Amino acid sequence: MRLPPTEDLLRELSPQVLGALVRRHGQFDACEDAVQEALLAATVQWPAHGVPEEPRSWLITVASRRLVDSWRSDSARQRREESAAALELPEAAQPSGQDDTLIVLFLCCHPALSAPSQLALTLRAVAGLSTAEIARAFLVPEATMAQRISRAKQSIKVAGLSFELPPANERADRLRVVLHVLYLVFNEGYATSSGPSLHRAELTTEAIRLARLVHDRMPGEAETTGLLALLLLTDARREARTDADGCLIPLAEQQRELWNAAQIEEGVALITQTLGTAPIGPYQLQAAIAAVHDEAGSDAETDWPQILALYEVLERVAPGPMVTLNRAVALAMVDGPRAGLALLGTLDADDRMRHTHRLDAVRGHLLELAGEPRAARVAYLSAARMTASLPEQRYLALRGARLA
**pLDDT at position 73:** 66
Domain assignment present for residue 28? The answer is: yes
Categorize the per-residue pLDDT at 1 as very low, low, confident or very high, splitting at 50, 70 and 90. Answer: very low
Which of 208, 198, 187 has its CA nearest to residue 245? 198
Give phi and psi for 110, each to the nearest 5: -65, 140
Averaged pLDDT, 179-205: 83
Distance CA(19)–CA(25), nearest Å, equals: 10
Contacts of 148 (CB under 8 A, 6+ apart): 116, 117, 120
- Indicate whether 402 belongs to any domain: yes
pLDDT per position as a tens digit, 345-379 = 999 999 988 888 999 999 999 999 999 999 999 99
Q: Does position 96 have pLDDT exceeding 70, yes or no?
A: no
- For residue 224, give the nearest of 215, 216, 237, 233 by alpha carbon: 215
Confidence of residue 5 (pLDDT cuts 50, 70, 90): low
Which candidate, 244, 192, 239, places its Cα nearest to that of 389?
Answer: 192
Specify the number of domains making up the chain: 2
What is the rounded CA–CA span in Å between residue 379 and residue 388?
Answer: 16
CA–CA gap between residue 379 and residue 212 (Å, rounded): 39
Whether residue 237 is contained in a domain is answered as no
- Highest mean predicted confidence (pLDDT) among 85-89, 150-154, 247-251, 361-365: 361-365
Among 76-80, 317-321, 349-353, name the most confident range: 317-321
Backbone angles phi, psi at 388, to 5 degrees: -100, 0
Poorest-confidence range of 3-7, 229-233, 266-270, 381-385?
Answer: 3-7
The whole-number pLDDT of residue 97 equals 57
What share of the chain in percent tops pLDDT 90? 57
- pLDDT for 86 equals 47
pLDDT band of residue 69 (cuts 50, 70, 90) is confident
Of the residues 74, 90, 106, the one at which a domain ends: 90
The average pLDDT across 214-242 equals 94
Is residue 192 pLDDT above 80, yes or no? no
Tell me whether residue 38 is in a domain.
yes
In a domain? residue 48:
yes
Q: How far is CA 361 from CA 18, 86, 228, 315, 354, in A?
A: 44, 62, 28, 21, 13
**pLDDT bracket for residue 88 (50, 70, 90):** very low
Long-range pairs for 381-386: beta carbons < 8 A, 24 or more residues apart: 382/357, 383/357, 383/358, 383/359, 384/357, 385/357, 386/355, 386/356, 386/357, 386/360
**Is residue 226 a contact partner of residue 274, using CB atoms and an 8 Å limit?**
yes
Distance in angstroms (rounded) separating the CA atoms of residues 123 and 93: 29
Query: If pLDDT is split at 50, 70 and 90, which confidence band does 196 have?
Result: confident
Q: How far apart are CA 158 and CA 344, in angstroms?
A: 45
Mean pLDDT, rounded, for 39-67: 90
- Is residue 151 in a domain? no
Per-residue confidence (pLDDT) for residue 74, from 0 to 100: 56
- CA dihedral (341, 344, 349, 353) positive or negative: negative
CATH of the domain at 320: 1.25.40.10
More confident residue, 157 or 399: 399
Average pLDDT for residues 194-201, to the nearest whole number?
76
What average pLDDT score do residues 122-145 get?
Answer: 85
Is 239 within the bounds of a domain? no
Query: pLDDT averaged over the chain?
Result: 88
Q: Which residues lie closer than 8 Å to 4 by C-beta, 6 or more apart? A: none
* pLDDT value for 198: 75
pLDDT confidence of residue 403: 93
Residue 321 has pLDDT above 50, yes or no: yes
- Asked if residue 292 is part of any domain, the answer here is no
Which of the listed residues 67, 90, 113 is the one where a domain comes to its end? 90
In this prediction, residue 9 has a pLDDT band, given cuts at 50, 70 and 90, of confident
Residue 239 confidence (pLDDT)? 93
Range of the structural domain that residue 76 is part of: 16-90
| Mean pLDDT for the stretch of residues 156-169 | 87
Domain end point (choices 58, 90, 122): 90
**Helix boundaries (H) for 26-100:** 28-49, 55-72, 77-87
CA-closest candidate to residue 158, choices 112, 104, 100: 112
